Structure 1
């Protein structure tokens, strides 16, 4: 059971001027002895939130002090895919599922080349692993990648706080020499809004992607017997998005986030994918400009960050959500078919459909809050989803989106191959 210590006020006027700082409150969690003892060494840690609350915990993984935005994820499984999702750059991920680490980690479930998140916050760290695929423990995995983690903290209470107040900046620290006033000052000296995070997670050079979904994990890929060349912009792309495209018969060229639109068009692709990625879409105007220069020339598919960039390129606006969508259980209605899909989502920003021009259609809507979850603009051969159709981790309800993209490219290819009827009469010839 979580217990709250007596709150106490600390005078930090010299840090914040005349503005009244938040009251500092310390929260601890009672831990059972005996069977609950961990078989490895632990050290104390603190999570300081910008609202002045302090959460005492135990650390695992890396040590030190790190600042980031705290968000909660409601997925029940797939913590390794979450750890390696580049869309979490600059964020501490709090898992609402209380038991984490019980299946360890392996080398097949990586979604990118490294962990990009700032840290991991969990309630209970498993004392053992029980999966035949396990290659090492979660603690060792994070330590090797210099990622901080804390456990034995009241994640339910923190989640309620984030739902009430919105995403908060926090500081994780195992450094006992830092005062609470210093940690609080750090939370107020950093902000994730307006920062270009995609350039730090994107690849640095052009390369081909050939891996498909492994046979034991594939479920619905049906190609058209024809190969389509797709240029995929890496704004923080997940490996399983590329695998799903490849499984549907696409030849994929992955390019960096700063790759010029003119170079992409020189490749004469059948379609362009704008991928998922972290942070504020308004902080990357160069990416919006790239999207603008490609629209209308080839079919395009935007996912998550790509969806938001498409919204801006079409003249719409994006806004920061209160606490975003993070998890593998978000209900979305496909407005074209009426069907409800359970989707995997990870984003803090959304497109405001009221700001979009005439002709742009909202195709999907999040049923939890009514936010825009998908767009289409048939006149320019555009489709997009706010969520992750490959669902790694998550359900596979939305995998059809990759087939829809292939069909969009096929329609365009067939249109170009149709014989052109001359408008010049024989008398004028």
Structure 2
């Protein structure tokens, strides 16, 4: 079968290889503790599940969704953005999505032509650079390093590079590093985007998954950001609804209209019953979110404290559901991932899955119980696995 040049341009998808390795290990009867995929296992609020059950009984919800989206859902998003982030959004500045990943890729196809340049900090969530590559764009890497908090230096981008760029994709708190960015960085990003006529994308997937009361800022909280920015939100991480595939984008109506145009040609919206249940989710009292954060914070502490007892010197991340850890000397990302799986049955993600600058790291997802996470640390200890520079 002939593969398109578009697909052939994509870098190797290491997660497909990882899935194959996991299947082989399980076929041998191995008990794997799988911390490789950021798939939340905190269940949705019970009221949301009940709302879905009720919506399933309404025949109207089984018809095609409206291209314009559901007015009740849009109003719930408007209210949510005001309540949670103190940003003012109009209903015509909301697009409902079949998960934010779909929206990110649709936006790439809607705004980028072959040869256009996109600025992407690495390491990054793969859709941030794979979407533009599929659209034929050139990805210009903005290196981020631990010493600088994994935040790119926008002042260091050469003027000739900036002038030829069409899009800047950011995500804080970020996957895989769990880094957070202050509002001052977003102010700089908005100024940069306006100066160079660049579309600013902010993937805010982990907006509500923060610890110790340190709430991450929305890019749209910056004055004038709506002129150039679209922010992507997902109910996957916030409400434990990853398999439901529902999210939304807010911000510049001009840019959002391009996503709408793509979607009218390629899909409808999410399943109507899921949209109804999502309205209930967006009205969920903050008690649920507080409990969700406490759950992940405890998991974070178990993993970070455990790894530090084995020679690592990790700081506790302030957001997201990941621990980003350096691999010991003598290993690269993939070989250490294999070492862990072979010797302990603990599965992590190699840093190279998030771009070439992820080499030398692994990502650990906090997606199992406290007991299993503690067992993972115990398995490493028993196998003699320690960090050494």
| The two structures share one fold, judged by TM-score above 0.5 | no
Q: Which has a greater percent of helix?
A: 2
Higher-Rg structure is 1
Q: Which has a greater percent of strand?
A: 1
Identify which of structures 1 and 2 has the higher relative contact order when contacts are C-alpha pairs closer than 8 Å and 6+ apart: 2
